[in-house]
Amino acid sequence: MLQDVSDVQHAGDHEMALRLCSALRKDLKQLGSDFADLNEILADLNAFEGVSHYHLHNFKEAHKAFNNQVKICGNSNLQQHLPRGLENLGRAYAKLENYRAAKDMWLERLKYDSDDQDKMWLQFEIAFCNFELGEYEEAIADSLAVKRMAETASNMNWVLKASILIAQSNLALNNLSEAQVYLQNAQYAAYVLNKHDLEMFIADVIDFVNREIDEIKCKAVEQKGKISSVTPDQTFESSSIDSKDDSRTTDDFAEMIDFEDAQQPIK
């Protein structure tokens, strides 16, 4: 019956897939615990249930099913099933906005063999979790690793995603010059990929960042002029630039550049 569930899922009928899973679960209750391959069947059943719940946006139910799958695999030495289970459990955690747990799942998943494509998206998801957790330096480091892998593989789609996340993280840190560099990288990648709307949007953000950089430079010059004109017996306020002056960069633009869901198709 697992094949029936698989066929129905591939046809996109996830409600029917869950009904078939429910019927199969009832049948399995009639079997003894010593039935051969019972744990492997249960692990697969939980995986199928998790996938269908995920596609139906029932993320709490998906999390429960994937968590059960991972536990069964871990307790039954079903190592071949663990990598996919960890991937999907990480996805469910991310959809529930538990980014710390999602990051932990994907870090664990990286311990298993992966091809270059898997490594890129896993590293990217870890970077995105760091961004959502406010760990921007870590997000930059992980995104740079993705960008290097993508450039080696001549994969401009991943260069685009990584460059945007690096730029976002630098904007959040008010590292405007660094953000400018990676926005330009992202703009070029968007151009190569014929994503013209995104290319134009990034161009607008680059213009905004350039204006912010110029404004900060002008204010620094003005402050320097004020300081040089002050006589020793005069008092004056701190010459540092008020952080409120450039906070709009982070508040208004760090989240504006969005990208398509980077995850691999859930299976």
Are 88 and 134 within one domain? Answer: no
Distances (CA, A) of 55 to 7, 51, 110, 139, 170: 15, 6, 24, 28, 33
In a domain, 103, yes or no: no
Going by C-beta distance under 8 Å and a sequence separation of 6 or more, which residues neighbour residue 147?
158, 159, 162, 163, 166, 185
Give the separation between CA 137 and CA 151, rounded to whole angstroms.
21
Contact call for residues 49 and 18 (beta carbons, < 8 A): yes
In a domain, 84, yes or no: yes
In a domain, 213, yes or no: yes
Report the CATH number at residue 121: 1.25.40
Instruction: Kindly report the backbone phi and psi dihedral angles of residue 138, in degrees, each rounded to the nearest multiple of 5, phi listed first.
Output: -65, -40
Per-residue pLDDT of the chain (267 residues; tens, 9 = 90+): 788 889 999 999 999 999 999 999 988 888 766 776 889 999 999 999 999 999 999 999 999 999 999 999 999 989 889 999 999 999 999 999 999 999 999 999 999 988 989 999 999 999 999 999 999 999 999 999 999 999 999 999 999 999 999 999 999 999 999 999 999 999 999 999 999 999 999 999 999 999 998 888 787 666 665 545 544 444 333 222 233 333 333 344 444 444 444 455 465
User: 50, 70, 98 — which closes off a domain?
Assistant: 98
Are 131 and 222 within one domain? Answer: yes
pTM for the structure as a whole: 0.81
Could you say which DSSP state residue 96 is in? T
In a domain, 107, yes or no: no
Are 58 and 123 within one domain? Answer: no
Are 156 and 48 within one domain? Answer: no
* CA triple 250-222-174, angle to 5 deg: 15
Closest C-alpha to 84, from 59, 58, 118: 118
Contact call for residues 151 and 140 (beta carbons, < 8 A): no
211 burial via Cβ count (<10 Å: 0-12, 13-18, 19+): exposed
Give the separation between CA 99 and CA 133, rounded to whole angstroms.
7
Are 36 and 124 within one domain? Answer: no
Are 43 and 168 within one domain? Answer: no
Are 198 and 92 within one domain? Answer: no
User: 98, 129, 150 — which closes off a domain?
Assistant: 98
Contact call for residues 207 and 187 (beta carbons, < 8 A): no
In a domain, 40, yes or no: yes
Are 132 and 161 within one domain? Answer: yes
In a domain, 265, yes or no: yes
Give the separation between CA 102 and CA 105, rounded to whole angstroms.
5
H runs (alpha helix) in 96-238:
99-109, 116-132, 136-152, 156-172, 176-192, 196-228
Host domain of residue 124: 114-227+237-267
In a domain, 106, yes or no: no
Are 247 and 177 within one domain? Answer: yes
Are 46 and 120 within one domain? Answer: no
Contact call for residues 122 and 88 (beta carbons, < 8 A): no
Q: Take residue 248 and report the two structure tokens written for it.
A: 């709009």
Give the separation between CA 82 and CA 102, rounded to whole angstroms.
15
Number of domains in the chain: 2
In a domain, 104, yes or no: no
